[in-house]
Amino acid sequence: MPKLDRYLLHDFTQSFLATMTVLLVVSLGGVLVDILGNIADGRLPARLMLSQLGLQLLVYLPLVLPLALMLGLLQSFSRLYRDSEMAVINALGVGPQRLLKPMLLLVVPVVAMIAACSLWLGPWANRTSERLIEEASRNLVISGLEAGRFTSLPNGGIVYVDAISEDGSKMQKVFAQRFQDNEIDVITGQTGEIYFETRNDRFLRLNDGFRVLGPVAGALDFKLMRFARNDLALPIKGGSGEEHPPATLTTLALFSDPRSVVVAELHSRIAPPLLALAFALLTLPLSRSSPRQQRYGRMLLGFLAYLVCTNLTFIGAGALASGKIPAALGLWWLTIPLLVLATWTYLKNGRLPRRKRTRTA
């Protein structure tokens, strides 16, 4: 590999890794806040926090890596222009087409990584996350019903368990409270257990207890009942209620499903690597500046362009899911014109003028 290619590739890679590290730390904080919110609301077992953090980070990588690639290349090219190194490179006869080789040595692996995360790792992470939450909901200990403490349910109810068996399948001295139609429902039982009727129907079975039902405020019309068995419906934490959500399906399965929601999910997975390639090609024209010109203005312009295209991707996916955009059109109206514009701008902007040949007598 020529020395110039090694020098540029090293500079591109260093800037990309530094930018990616910063963005991953910021993204990790945002994902952690969402997970802690779900745990506080009772939609996610607390013991799954670390596993969910890693899985959700894989889901967000197709959004973080294109931005890191664009900002890293912008920072590297801007430094070359600011330090007048690009002027020296152009004086040697090296133009945009020659600079394409070292840049693609970084861009192609990163785009392949984005495609792998978007088409394979992201759906796998969603499926694994859903499976872990479902398995945790089948176990009393892992699902958050700990002995000696009050546990909030996703529907606003409260459950207290005095003791739980070692395998987490049975419990003793159970107290449950919930609100339904402006009425308070208090249930107590000597023993209890959780069982499933269907995939998303979880019930708490209480044995040998009492039930008090009455208005929340106002009248004193309370009813006291004694039961031998009473079943209390418990929603699965984090469950979507859908048997096979499009986000958990494999990419190959999406091609055979004609539903508009599935088509929107398919194009949402195809768009990130194409957008990453387009923004990588736009970095050289965007970074062109004089040595005394500030480089951060161009980086802000590139960041705003990324935000606009990302929002258009989400808006287009929503329009596809609702049927407002034909399935055949997909998100090609955004990705293909952007790729064409990026390629044309890269080859046009900054091309070295050819010297005119003069004939000698």
Structure-token match 């991953």, residue found:
24
Average pLDDT for 49-71? 92
CA atoms within 13 A on the CB side of 344: 6
Non-local CB neighbours of 10 within 8 Å, separated by 6+ positions: none
Distance CA 173, CA 149 (A): 12
**Spatial contact of 168 and 80, defined as CB atoms under 8 Å apart:** no
Structure-token match 């392949």, residue found:
112
pTM for the whole thing? 0.74
The token duo for 227 is 């039961």
DSSP state of 289: -
Per DSSP, which regions of the chain are E strands? 150-152, 158-164, 170-180, 183-198, 201-215, 223-234
Per-residue pLDDT of 196-225, as tens digits, reads 666 556 677 888 989 888 887 766 778 888
Is 41 or 273 the better-scoring residue by pLDDT? 273
The token duo for 355 is 């010297």
Per-residue pLDDT of 137-194, as tens digits, reads 655 444 556 778 787 766 667 888 888 877 666 888 888 888 777 788 888 899 888 7
Non-local CB neighbours of 146 within 8 Å, separated by 6+ positions: 161, 164
DSSP state of 222: -
Domain boundaries, the chain: 3-136+243-348, 150-234
